Amino acid sequence: MERPDVDGLNSGYAALLLEQYLDNPSSVPSEWRDLFESRPEALLQSQPGLAKLLGQIRDDGNGQAVVVARPAAPEAPADAELLGAVAASMALVKAFRMHGHLAARLDPLGSEPPGDPALEPERLVPKLTPELQARVPASLLRLYVEGETLADALPRLRETYTGTIAYEIEHISDHEERVWLRQAIESGRYRRPLADEQRVRLLARLSQVEGMEHYLRRAFLGQKQFSVEGLDVMIPMLDEAIEIAAANGAHEVVIGMAHRGRLNVLAHVVGRPYETVLREFEGERTIGAVVTSDEAGTGDVKYHLGAQGTYSTGAGEITVTLVSNPSHLEAVDPVVEGRARAEQTDRSTGGGFSDPSVALPVLIHGDASFAGQGTVAETLNLEALPGYSTGGTLHLIANNQVGFTTDPESGRSTRYSSDLAKGFDIPIVHVNADDPEAALAAIRLAMAYRRKFGHDVVVDLVGYRRHGHNEQDEAAYTQPLLAAAIAEHPTVREQFAARLVREGTLTQEQADELATDVQTELRHAHEALKETFGLAPSSLSSESRLPAGTGADVVTAVPADRLRALNEQLLRLPDGLAPHPKLMRQLERRRDTLEQGGIDWGQAEALAFASLLVDGIPIRLTGQDSERGTFSHRHAVLHDLHTGATFTPLQHLDESAAAFEIFNSPLSEYACLGFEYGYSAAAPEALVLWEAQFGDFVNGAQIVIDQFIAAGLSKWRETSRLTLLLPHGYEGNGPEHSSARLERFLQLAAQENIRIANCTTAAQYFHLLRRQALDATARPLVAMTPKGLLRLKQAGSSLDDLAQAEFRPLLDDPDADRDRVERLVLCQGKVYYDIAGHEQRGAAGQVAVARLEQLYPFPVAQAKALLSSYPNLRELVWVQEEPQNMGAWRAIRHRLEEAKPDHVPLLYVGRPWRASPSEGYPTAHLREQDRIVRAAPGA
């Protein structure tokens, strides 16, 4: 007999065997029994954590070891058959936990579940006959359902795992979570039956949900409403989630969802009056019904509009926010997360502090879009990251088993729509939408899990779509069998009402009354609305403007002494912290540059941030490798060379009055930018910056740019001061490390919806950042940021530049001899230094080179003034590095035409029309760059 090696023992394994021993001493190998009984001290010495368990083994006074304070050990299986039966029973229990969902009755339309042989006791070896089941003690199986033997427990196990709720939790890697979930599921803690009055309330809610959809369909025949019917219980599920969130201390629930059921959520969950919803419908056919406002925005279709309301719960009032979203399915997911995170964050000090109990994010997904859209995975990946976690999101898949006209077999490679979530260790609860009580139980379990573990949880609500994709569609064209089955299928309200009547909870008349009450209420609201038609002027006047501000009156200069003090504090380290000496030497140089000139980008940025923090403006900066900076220029977070400990000087300023949040982001653009948009929209006082690794990659987030950042103001009157830092510039690094696609942003710019800048000096960047944070009118800023210029001496600035100047949208040529100048070169960004520093430039006294630093809003007055300040001008040349179909040329050409005198021609110098932004070969780049730079000053 080999003795277990006490010193080299795996403590988890020892604990497992010890537990097993305490349940049944004869169930562990004899050498282990011997260790527990004869040598407990030796074990205790190496594994002190086992003291409590070992304490349960006593000497009975006759030298025999006995287990105390434990329920009597179940009778040891007497024969081999029983031993085999216990093993098979364990396998059966495991199968129910892992594969029970395959046999669950999840489809309200009654399709047969696939089942699994492992769930059938008769197919196990040995066959688990009823007799054998009755001999297997349930206590050996570590079950949480009731029952003395497997025979007692099996029906409960079946009911638990293969009824109208099913669970997928066994993929979760954390043991504690798995055990907690098993216990919660099998104990039925969250499935207790509802009291009669709760059932009546539930029926009343289902009546409202159905009644509203019916009314809208009848009153506005053929108008899109994206009815929720078939998933009606989604509304009571949201009620339940909000109620629990409020009881747990939340003050806000932030919901993101697509079209399906949105009008119902707006009316019944967010609390928009029926009149408002009806007005949106009337607006489609009666211009007089359109809501008045002073905006000139385009507005949006009714099933994209966001809203905020107050919801009354047993624990008091709670804010419910439904976030505006575009048609682009799932695009709103990260936006909701960012909003929730902003609500959860105390931005008053240090690095900010986030309390997930404050706000609950809820994401309602379509079954086709959850499986199909990549942003879902990107957003799930944010779940547990320190800079992004919201303490768990409640995901609800509104699973109507079809995506427009596409069946699941064509829409995903996985069995369930929810399968992606398994890879993120997320528990999944599937529930049949025709069992409203089960659906509420699913929410209770999900919310308890979120509260306990702070992770995401998915509830896959399996229902159907009673009508076509929208009210203009005929479902039977493409899903004829499904449509026929649905036509025959009673609604969930009808089924639930029939049940309550059958059980004597209420009478048929009372149930009918609940349904007619809703119709009456809607009719009255509609009549009242019609009375108001024509009273309000139309909002569609193109004259009225969205509120705007130029930021010109913002003071961005900071007194020199204050900058000196902040600069010192940024170089102050805690005792014992030793960052890399080479880095420290670089940073220490910032003392000299402050006094002698040469303040570079990194220093200017740090000083801008520091000056804002002491003025109480919170800052959040994220992006790939942003803590250091892709180009090793920022170093906002310092790392100790020996311990790896980190220190962020901007979080330790003497008079700091706001938090500086900084996080390296995961390798995502779409979700990360969406998150920051949501955060910035909910935190208008904060300067929120998102940095691309190279500007080229920003188009991975194009949907966020087009649909939220650029158009949010016009569609939803939603804006923010979100700032995009996009490295841009032609330095020979190929087609994907050159261009942040300036042209795309310029194309999207209108009605002063965004600001676009490209600074050529560190001081300009300093003032731009401060203006962006301090301007009373919040607008997103797209800043093209440099790479080579980050340390270019000529682009450096002096203390005076920060302490006395301001952001200037247009920079004149500092050396121009005005009367001599005949050719004005206007450019933007890095190419300025290529032109200004070129040998040919020195000789060309008749040429002036000016820089456009703010591309949008275009500085009309300044441009006019600049041009008229050169009395002998004969040519205006726009020079750019980008191809002619890219860069700024096509967006600002008309502005330059307007600004120049008629007799002065406008010329173009730059790369020709190109399908790809730049050359792949560095030598080809150099040749092209040289051609442009030589052509700029002219012959």
Ligand X SMILES: Cc1ncc(C[n+]2csc(CCOP(=O)(O)OP(=O)(O)O)c2C)c(N)n1
Q: Whole-number minimum distance, CB 444 to ligand X, in Å?
A: 25
Taking CB under 6 A as the binding criterion, the range among 54-62, 195-203, 360-368, 635-643 that sits at the site for ligand X is: 360-368
Would you say 671 or 855 has its CB closer to ligand X? 671
Would you say 290 or 363 has its CB closer to ligand X? 363
Chain centre distance of CA 516? 40
Q: Does 369 bind ligand X (CB under 6 A)?
A: yes
CA angle 804, 809, 810 (to 5 degrees): 100
Q: Does 404 bind ligand X (CB under 6 A)?
A: yes
What is the spatial distance between Cα 612 and Cα 895, in angstroms, rounded to a whole number? 34
Name the helix (H) or strand (E) containing 253: strand 252-257
Peptide bond into 236 cis (omega under 30): no
Would you say 387 or 403 has its CB closer to ligand X? 403
Taking CB under 6 A as the binding criterion, the range among 106-114, 325-333, 497-505, 913-921 that sits at the site for ligand X is: 325-333
Q: Whole-number minimum distance, CB 460 to ligand X, in Å?
A: 12
Phi, psi (deg, nearest 5) at residue 351: -100, 15
> For residue 886, what are its two tokens?
């890219």
Q: Does 227 bind ligand X (CB under 6 A)?
A: no
Would you say 283 or 411 has its CB closer to ligand X? 411
838 to 124, 812, 831: CA distances (angstroms): 84, 18, 11
Among 299, 334, 403, 712, binds ligand X (CB under 6 A): 403
What is the spatial distance between Cα 575 and Cα 572, in angstroms, rounded to a whole number? 9
Q: Whole-number minimum distance, CB 332 to ligand X, in Å?
A: 11
938 to 511, 840, 842, 880: CA distances (angstroms): 86, 10, 13, 14
Would you say 398 or 687 has its CB closer to ligand X? 398
Judged by CB under 6 A, how many residues of this single chain contact ligand X?
A: 14
Q: Does 408 bind ligand X (CB under 6 A)?
A: no
Taking CB under 6 A as the binding criterion, the range among 196-204, 396-404, 480-488, 792-800 that sits at the site for ligand X is: 396-404
Could you write out the three-class secondary structure of 788-839? Answer: HHHCCHHHCECHHHHHHCCCCCEECCCCCCCCCCCEEEEECCCHHHHHHCCH
Q: Does 245 bind ligand X (CB under 6 A)?
A: no
What is the spatial distance between Cα 695 and Cα 718, in angstroms, rounded to a whole number? 25
Would you say 328 or 652 has its CB closer to ligand X? 328
Taking CB under 6 A as the binding criterion, the range among 12-20, 366-374, 439-447, 565-573 that sits at the site for ligand X is: 366-374
Would you say 403 or 623 has its CB closer to ligand X? 403
> For residue 726, what are its two tokens?
């996009």
Q: Does 233 bind ligand X (CB under 6 A)?
A: no
Beta-strand pair 428-432/457-462 = parallel
Phi, psi (deg, nearest 5) at residue 865: -60, -40
Q: Whole-number minimum distance, CB 478 to ligand X, in Å?
A: 12
Q: Whole-number minimum distance, CB 95 to ligand X, in Å?
A: 30
Among 33, 171, 201, 328, binds ligand X (CB under 6 A): 328
> For residue 147, what are its two tokens?
């029952």
Q: Whole-number minimum distance, CB 862 to ligand X, in Å?
A: 41
Residue 487 near residue 180 (C-beta atoms within 8 A) = no
Name the helix (H) or strand (E) containing 214: helix 196-219
Would you say 417 or 828 has its CB closer to ligand X? 417
Among 191, 159, 238, 207, smallest CA distance to 398 is for 238
Q: Whole-number minimum distance, CB 130 to ligand X, in Å?
A: 43
Residue 887 near residue 880 (C-beta atoms within 8 A) = yes
Q: Does 368 bind ligand X (CB under 6 A)?
A: yes
Q: Partners of 856 in the beta sheet?
A: 756
Per DSSP, the three-state class of 509 is helix
One-letter amino acid at 740 equals A
Q: Scanning residues 466 to 495, which ones bind ligand X (CB under 6 A)?
A: 469
Q: Whole-number minimum distance, CB 227 to ligand X, in Å?
A: 10
Taking CB under 6 A as the binding criterion, the range among 159-167, 364-372, 712-720, 766-774 that sits at the site for ligand X is: 364-372
Would you say 404 or 921 has its CB closer to ligand X? 404
Q: Whole-number minimum distance, CB 375 to ligand X, in Å?
A: 9
Q: Whole-number minimum distance, CB 210 to ligand X, in Å?
A: 17
- Residue 66: how many other CB atoms lie within 10 Å: 14
Beta-strand pair 781-785/755-758 = parallel
Would you say 262 or 900 has its CB closer to ligand X? 262
What is the spatial distance between Cα 397 and Cα 417, in angstroms, rounded to a whole number? 8
Q: Whole-number minimum distance, CB 270 to ligand X, in Å?
A: 19
Those residues whose C-beta lies under 8 Å from the C-beta of residue 677, and which sit 6 or more positions away, are 335, 338, 704, 708, 709, 712, 720, 722
Q: Scanning residues 259 to 278, which ones bind ligand X (CB under 6 A)?
A: 260
Q: Whole-number minimum distance, CB 196 to ligand X, in Å?
A: 33
Among 228, 235, 254, 329, binds ligand X (CB under 6 A): 329
Which residue's CB comes closest to ligand X?
A: 366
Q: What's the sign of the alpha-carbon dihedral 890, 892, 896, 898?
A: positive
What is the spatial distance between Cα 344 and Cα 336, in angstroms, rounded to a whole number? 12
Would you say 329 or 511 has its CB closer to ligand X? 329
Q: Does 224 bind ligand X (CB under 6 A)?
A: no
Radius of gyration for the alpha carbons in the chain, expressed in angstroms and rounded: 34
Among 213, 243, 367, 801, binds ligand X (CB under 6 A): 367
Q: Does 366 bind ligand X (CB under 6 A)?
A: yes
Q: Does 377 bind ligand X (CB under 6 A)?
A: no
What is the spatial distance between Cα 477 and Cα 485, in angstroms, rounded to a whole number? 14
Q: Whole-number minimum distance, CB 403 to ligand X, in Å?
A: 3
- Residue 785: how many other CB atoms lie within 10 Å: 26
Q: Does 327 bind ligand X (CB under 6 A)?
A: yes
Taking CB under 6 A as the binding criterion, the range among 249-257, 363-371, 825-833, 841-849 that sits at the site for ligand X is: 363-371
Those residues whose C-beta lies under 8 Å from the C-beta of residue 68, and which sit 6 or more positions away, are 56, 57, 58
* CB contact burial 318-353 (16+ within 10 A = b; e otherwise): bbbbbbbbbebbbbbbbbbbbbbbbbbbebeebbbe
Q: Does 538 bind ligand X (CB under 6 A)?
A: no
Q: Whole-number minimum distance, CB 587 to ligand X, in Å?
A: 45
Q: Whole-number minimum distance, CB 492 to ligand X, in Å?
A: 17
Per DSSP, the three-state class of 183 is helix
Taking CB under 6 A as the binding criterion, the range among 145-153, 324-332, 569-577, 605-613 that sits at the site for ligand X is: 324-332
Taking CB under 6 A as the binding criterion, the range among 287-295, 395-403, 564-572, 582-590 that sits at the site for ligand X is: 395-403
Would you say 51 or 301 has its CB closer to ligand X? 301
Q: Whole-number minimum distance, CB 406 to ligand X, in Å?
A: 7
Would you say 228 or 558 has its CB closer to ligand X? 228
Would you say 156 or 328 has its CB closer to ligand X? 328
Q: Does 400 bind ligand X (CB under 6 A)?
A: yes
Q: Whole-number minimum distance, CB 226 to ligand X, in Å?
A: 7
* CB contact burial 358-369 (16+ within 10 A = b; e otherwise): bbbbbbbbbbbb
Q: Whole-number minimum distance, CB 920 to ligand X, in Å?
A: 32
Binding site for ligand X (CB under 6 A): 260, 327-329, 366-369, 398, 400, 402-404, 469
